[in-house]
Copies of this chain bind each other. A is one copy, B any other.
Amino acid sequence: MKNNFLDKVKDRLIISCQALADEPLHSSFIMSRMARAAYEAGASAIRANSVVDVQAIMDTVELPVIGLDKVDYSDAPIYITPTIKEMRGIAATGAAVVACDVTGRPRPHGEQLATIVETMRTEYPDTLLMADTSSLDDVKEANRLGFDIIGTTMYGYTPATEGCNIADNNFEYLKQVLAMSKTPVIAEGKIDSPEKAVTALKLGCHSVVVGSSITRPQLIAKTYIDAVNEL
């Protein structure tokens, strides 16, 4: 079976449905319904965290899933599908794509990303791999290792890129990523308006992921509360 994920999401919206353990909507049942909301609106795919959420979502909607598994380890700073264990766990759900941290930082247990990619290609040859990158160096490394998709996910979410926003300077960083990437780029991270989503696609991104501004009501509500509190 050919993995036609990239065809399905071309020029379309992917919706991230995530609620971590400390969030009010934390629940695989709720995330499966959130995915149904995304499906009804016309999303092309879902991005989701953890084996149980990915499975619940795949049981609920007929949409391809980008799966990841956020796990904190004490011996390394990265947390998005950090080791081969989580990579295998997500791939075993049948998710079309597995996303993982590609930020050049150390992985738990001293694992090497090149080895992880090689193992995944052997064990799950039909599963696409998405690199959640934070910098142009990360994009180069993802190119070198043969990732199928470059995501801008971590831009603004590493110590080195703290405070950076993908929309800064008329999306200058995204333009550089697009120029450098050898494979489809999916814009992700701080895309919080329809206009920004459209801009990312117009610039040449293959697809765009929107999350919090659709599926994290506590953050959406906060924008209202903050405005009202300024009165």
Interface-centre pick from A13, A37, A40 (highest chain B CB count, 10 A): A37
Interface-centre pick from A33, A224, A225, A226 (highest chain B CB count, 10 A): A224
Which chain B residue has the least Cβ–Cβ distance from A200? B228
Bound form: Cα–Cα A220–B215 in Å = 9
Bound form: Cα–Cα A219–B229 in Å = 26
The residues of B that contact A224 with a CB separation of less than 8 Å are 13, 41, 194, 197, 210, 214
- How does the 8 Å CB contact mask read for A24-61 relative to B, with 1 for contact and 0 for none? 11010110011011111111000000000000000000
Which chain B residue has the least Cβ–Cβ distance from A35? B24
**Contact (A40, B218) CB under 8 Å given A25-B33, A33-B30, A194-B226:** yes
Asked if residues A12 and B194 are in contact (CB atoms below 8 Å), the reply is no
Asked if residues B221 and A41 are in contact (CB atoms below 8 Å), the reply is yes
Asked if residues B195 and A38 are in contact (CB atoms below 8 Å), the reply is no
Question: Which residues of chain A (43-98) have a CB below 8 Å from chain B?
Answer: 43
Which chain B residue has the least Cβ–Cβ distance from A32? B24
Asked if residues B13 and A36 are in contact (CB atoms below 8 Å), the reply is no
Give which listed residue, B36, B40, B220, contacts A213 with CB less than 8 A. B220
Task: Give me the interface of A with B, judged by CB distance under 8 Å.
Answer: 11-13, 15, 23-25, 27, 29-30, 33-34, 36-43, 194-195, 197-198, 201-202, 208, 210, 213-231
Write 27 A-B pairs (CB below 8 A) sorted by A numbering: A11-B228, A12-B228, A13-B228, A24-B33, A24-B34, A24-B37, A24-B40, A25-B30, A25-B33, A29-B30, A30-B33, A38-B218, A38-B221, A41-B218, A41-B222, A42-B225, A42-B229, A194-B223, A197-B224, A197-B227, A198-B227, A201-B228, A202-B231, A210-B221, A210-B224, A217-B217, A220-B220
